[in-house]
Every structure is written in structure tokens, then in C-alpha cells.
Structure 1
Amino acid sequence: MKSKQIICEENFFHDLFMDYYPSLLSFACYYVEEEVVAEDLVQDVFVKMWEQRGRWKAVENFSAYVYQMVRFRCFNYLRGEKLREEMMRSYREEKVDVMEANRYMEEEIFRLVNQAMEALPPTYRQVITMSMEGYRVKEIAQKLNVGEETVKKRKQAAKQVLKEKLGKLYLFLAPLI
């Protein structure tokens, strides 16, 4: 069962809330310009006041005190929002930079692979190209009208040339061949 003191404090606090909430909400809306956010901020202030109710009873000018608390809470919120927006802007810019770098690397890898492919003898290039298109050794042999061993040798020789020309970039190409 609640003590009489707690009940009195709750009633007093309820009356304060009812008296001040509408004007504090309007005051907070002036700063944050969003009623839903302002409602949360004002309610946060009242929760804090309830938690620290032993302190504010000694305040001489309660009205100024509570308005000051709401104003500070609004400023803290706005400061946090500004920081969040700056971080998001920075993240988006960084993401764009990374995307541009990735696009550049893809284009450069593609250019180097094409250059290496063009340097292959035509018969090797044909076998590698068909292999990258998904044809099997037997199918390549049939299409080129050569033996399967010839296709295997050309493919192996082409891979060796590409490894030498591309170095570590060959690792990007190897799964496709």
C-alpha cells in the first residue's frame, strides 16, 4: 500500500503535469518543429523531474526551471540530430567514393584481362573464350573441329600465358576458365 506522502507527491506531480504540459509542448515545438519529437522531449523532462523530485521542490522559480530543462533537452536533441546527419552525410560520401573506386577497379581489371586476351594467339583465345562461355572440352573440340587433347593443350597454354601477363589478377579470371 502506498504511503500518504507518495500519494501526495503523485497528485502534486499530476497537477504540475496537467498545468505545464501544453505550454511546454508548444515551447518545445518552437525548437524542434516536430510535435511527436517535442512530446517525447517534454515527457523525458517530466520523467527526469519525477526521478529527481527531491531536488526541484527547493527550486524558487519552478516555472523558469522547468522551461529551462525543456530548452536544454531540445538543444541536446538538436545537437544529436545534427551530429547524426553529419555522420550519415559522411557515410554516404564515403560510400560513393568506395563505389567509384570499385567501379574504376572493375573497369581496369576488365581492360587488363581484355588486353591479355588480345595478346593470345587466335586459337588459344578461341578456346579460352568458349571455355568462359561455359562450353566443355568435348563441345569446344567439336565446334573447332579439332581433337579434345588439342583443346586441352591450347587451354593449358592459354592459361599459362594469362597467368604470366596478369599476375595476381589471374585469380579473378581463373574460376571462369
Structure 2
Amino acid sequence: MKSKQITHEEELFHNLFMEYYPSLLSFARYYVKDETIAEDLVQDVFVKMWELREQWKGVENFSAYIYQMVRFRCFNYLRGEKLREEMMRSYKEEKLSIVEINQYIEEEIFRLVNQAMDSLPSTYKQVITLTLEGYRVKEIAEKLNVGEETVKKRKQAAKQVLKEKLGKLYVFLLPLI
């Protein structure tokens, strides 16, 4: 297997990396406060430096140039993080308001159903309440000391009143009664 010859350019770049990396890492950490992120940002700068190596060869003050690149890279990262955090906060606030709206709707439906239930004659209300509690027609008839047909008629009449009072909201109550 043939070993690859290291070019003068690669050796120069390696030496620059070894010389500047530790101090650039410390410099980046000052801005981003996270070791791993600072490492990634500094490495990104060195990759960019390698890709644009023809351009920086003519730079008079290389040290100032590379520190400026790291600084800009850190600022770009922080700007992106701030934007991401703002978007997440906005999403959470929006989600919270949707939850609040849904809760309001549930409470309002509950209030309207209770209001409609309260308007029922007491015999109808008893039948519907017991139905909502899970009792069957036969059990309701026994509890109220009436015939099963009477329970069925009261239930049917109560449903009709509720349907008229609740309109389209009646569909929320229908599976329960």
C-alpha cells in the first residue's frame, strides 16, 4: 500500500491548526459557553480556511483574520440559536393558546349542556341523569318505580328537548344518552 506524500501546503496548514486551535477554542468558548459547540465552530472555520486557502495566503495579519472568522462564526451560531429559541417559544405560546381555547370550548359545551339539562322537567332529567350514569332502561324503571315503556318515552322526549335546546351541540351528548 502506497503512503500519501504530505504536501508543503498541508504541512503548513497542519502547523497553523496545531498553533491556533487551542487559543481559538478558548476564544469560541467565551462566546458560546459550550465546549462541544465551540469545538465544532472552530473546526468549521478551519475547514473553511482549507477550502479558501488560496484567498488567505495574501492576508497580512493572519492571526487577526482567523480570530475574526471564529468570532463571526460564533455570532452566526448564536443568532441562529436565538432565532430557534424564539420560534420554539412562539410555537409553545401558540400551542398553549390552542390548549386554552380547547379548554374554553369544552367548558362552554359543558355549561350549555348543563343549562339544557336543568331546563328539562324533573322526570325527564332523572331519566337522562341515570342514563348518563350508566344505568339501563330496566334499572332506571326499577329505581323510579315506573314501567320500562315510561322510561323509554321520557328518555325520547328528553332527547327531543335537548336536541331543540342544544342544536348542533346535541351531537356531543348523543353518544352518551
TM-score, normalised relative to structure 1: 0.88
Cross-structure match for 2:111: 111
Distance in 2 between residues matched to 1:174 and 1:21, nearest whole Å: 71
- Judge which range, 167-176 or 136-145, deviates more: 136-145
Cross-structure match for 1:83: 83
Alignment of 1:120-159 (within 5 A): 120-159=120-159
Distance in 2 between residues matched to 1:123 and 1:51, nearest whole Å: 86
How far did 1:2 drift? 6.6
Q: Percent identity of the aligned residues?
A: 78
Alignment of 1:1-177 (within 5 A): 4=5, 7-177=7-177
Distance in 1 between residues matched to 2:162 and 2:79, nearest whole Å: 56
Displaced runs of 4 or more, over 6 A:
none
- Judge which range, 28-37 or 161-170, deviates more: 28-37
Q: Structure 1 unaligned segments of length 5 or more: list them.
A: none
Alpha-carbon RMSD across the aligned residues, in angstroms, is 1.9
- Judge which range, 38-47 or 71-80, deviates more: 38-47
How far did 1:103 drift? 2.1
How far did 1:173 drift? 1.2
Distance in 2 between residues matched to 1:2 and 1:119, nearest whole Å: 93
Q: Which amino acid aligns with 2:159?
A: K
Distance in 2 between residues matched to 1:172 and 1:3, nearest whole Å: 75
- Judge which range, 109-118 or 77-86, deviates more: 77-86
